[in-house]
Amino acid sequence: MSEQKAFSTNSSYEALTDRFRRASLIGDALGILDWDQATTMPEGSAEGRAEQIATLSVMRHELLVDSSVGENLLAAQEAFQDADAESWDAANLREMQRSYAYAAAVPGDLVEAAARANAVCEIKWRGARAANDFASLVPALQTVIDRVGDIAQARSEAFELDPYDALLDEFEAGTRVNQLDPLFGALARDLPGFVEEVLAHQASKPAPVLPDGPFPVAIQRALATKLMDALGFDFGAGRLDISHHPFCGGAAGDVRITTRYSEEDFTESLMGVLHETGHALYEAGLPELWRYQPVGKALGMAIHESQSLLIEMQVSRSRPFLEFAMPHMQAAFGADGTAWEVENFYRLYTRVERGFIRVDADEVTYPLHVVLRYRLERALLFGDLPLGDLPGAWNDGMRDLLGIAPPDDRLGCLQDVHWPSGAFGYFPTYTLGAMAAAQLYGAAQRDLPNLAEDISAGQLSPLIGWLRTHVHGQGSFCSAEELLTAATGEPLNPQVFLDHLRHRYLGDA
């Protein structure tokens, strides 16, 4: 790929880079406000925070849709016609044009209304989830759905896309329903039977033993930070905190991740931390020269999710990583015995079970959780499912796909923050990301023949270096298909993921 260099000296382009830099910095401020809202903000501050977020969202929007932006884009495009089409400046201009088009498609008053609705609803979701009270969330969530629907319609008309395609495109450019429907249809058809195969295979082997707690939160955090440090997380430019729902956020150069702890079982929280660390490493590894420009941003959420799932599912649940991590676990909790052997933890971390909670799901059942949400969010947005009927539809879908139904809404339709925060069209990227993760890790194993030995010795830098070169450092220079092809030799191939599942869960890999 093209060598990075300083910005072009074209005056129209320089004006654009300055404007997009300011918009990016406002986005960073919004990221810190979102983090604060999820971690330390008093609940009584919710109304004021909603106004802050709405105001800054409008300011950012106005920066991007100013009439001078369109004029400068045309002038810069003309000036760039004879320039290197493969340059980072050319790629940055392309991403500017995309950002401008998406911003201009949505009126400013709708941007403000949606941002305010999302902020209000996310706070209400926390209380509703804690109280297992879906009804209390319905009015706020319906407002969010209405505003998301308005945005989808506006973009649909501007780009001549299906409204749901217009939402998908925000999170993963170029993804379309006509691609997802056959893919997710095949997963819904084939995975339940595969789950049965895996469960029968597991039953023929010794069941893993869950170590006895309690596991104090302070010790869990210390263990997590030790493993984060081994992966290369920079605590001089990042944090680990507690929230209702694990996430990675913050700002450029200030990457903040969160988790939630259980003193009865530290294994789930630890994997949650390592998952979010994968996101954080991606953010920290984006090209610094282009930090505040569109081309320097992460390349869509499928690639973002591939980085978290590569670290969590492909690496951290592997035998080599557990060989490295086990002495640290034993030392942290002063434990030993059969439950604290590598093989037991490998069986724990590759245990397939039908469960209610998506973020705790294994990689075999996880895609079915995504299929459910994909179906339901489309139905909610386009009038096929009244919001009041969501709990029943959720439970029916869980029975159909996973053979279980949650006993309450807290373990059902109230578990995720995505819909209350307005993130419709996001869920499919989790499964696309899992597929990309398997493909990228396979390529890394091919290119780094000593990778397993390095990981078992706690040497994670060769893998992170490979990711820095092939994924992180590429920013949004090219499309996801081009990135995967350059890194792995082919565009996204779902069969690689399915082969990985069969090898790990039926082949005793």
**Within a domain: 475:** no
For the chain, how many structural domains are there in total?
1
Query: In 334-479, which residue ranges form alpha helices assigned H by DSSP?
Result: 342-349, 366-381, 390-402, 428-447, 451-456, 461-470
User: What pLDDT, on a 0 to 100 scale, did the predictor assign at position 508?
Assistant: 57
* Rounded-to-integer distance, Cα 166 and Cα 159, Å: 8
**Within a domain: 251:** no
**Within a domain: 249:** no
Instruction: Please determine, for residue 2, whether its predicted confidence score (pLDDT) is greater than 80.
Output: no
Count how many residues are written for the chain.
Answer: 509
What totals of helices (H) and strands (E) does the chain contain, helices first?
20, 3
Residue 395 vs residues 96, 111, 196, 505: alpha-carbon distances, Å: 42, 33, 20, 27
Mean pLDDT of the 144-159 span: 96
Mean pLDDT of the 279-289 span: 97
Amino acid letter, residue 235: F
Confidence tier at 10 by pLDDT (50, 70, 90): confident
pTM, entire model: 0.92
Instruction: Please determine, for residue 349, whether its predicted confidence score (pLDDT) is greater than 60.
Output: yes
Instruction: Please determine, for residue 80, whether its predicted confidence score (pLDDT) is greater than 90.
Output: no
User: What pLDDT, on a 0 to 100 scale, did the predictor assign at position 81?
Assistant: 77
**Within a domain: 276:** no
- What tens digit of pLDDT does each residue of 438-475 get? 999 999 999 999 999 999 999 999 999 999 999 999 99
Residue 251, classed as helix, strand or coil, is: strand
Rounded to the nearest integer, the mean pLDDT of the chain is: 94
| Six-digit token string for 428 | 């499919």
**Within a domain: 391:** no
Q: Which domain holds residue 37?
A: 11-171
The active-site residue out of 172, 276, 312, 363 is 276
Amino acid letter, residue 122: E
**Within a domain: 206:** no
Residue among 70, 153, 47, 139 nearest 107 (CA): 153
* Rounded-to-integer distance, Cα 373 and Cα 381, Å: 12
Confidence tier at 509 by pLDDT (50, 70, 90): very low
Asked about 276 being catalytic, the answer comes back as: yes
**Within a domain: 501:** no
Residue 204 vs residues 200, 245, 495: alpha-carbon distances, Å: 7, 35, 27
Residue among 272, 185, 285, 181 nearest 232 (CA): 285
**Within a domain: 477:** no
User: What pLDDT, on a 0 to 100 scale, did the predictor assign at position 86?
Assistant: 79
- What tens digit of pLDDT does each residue of 222-271 get? 999 999 999 999 999 999 999 988 899 999 999 999 999 999 999 989 99
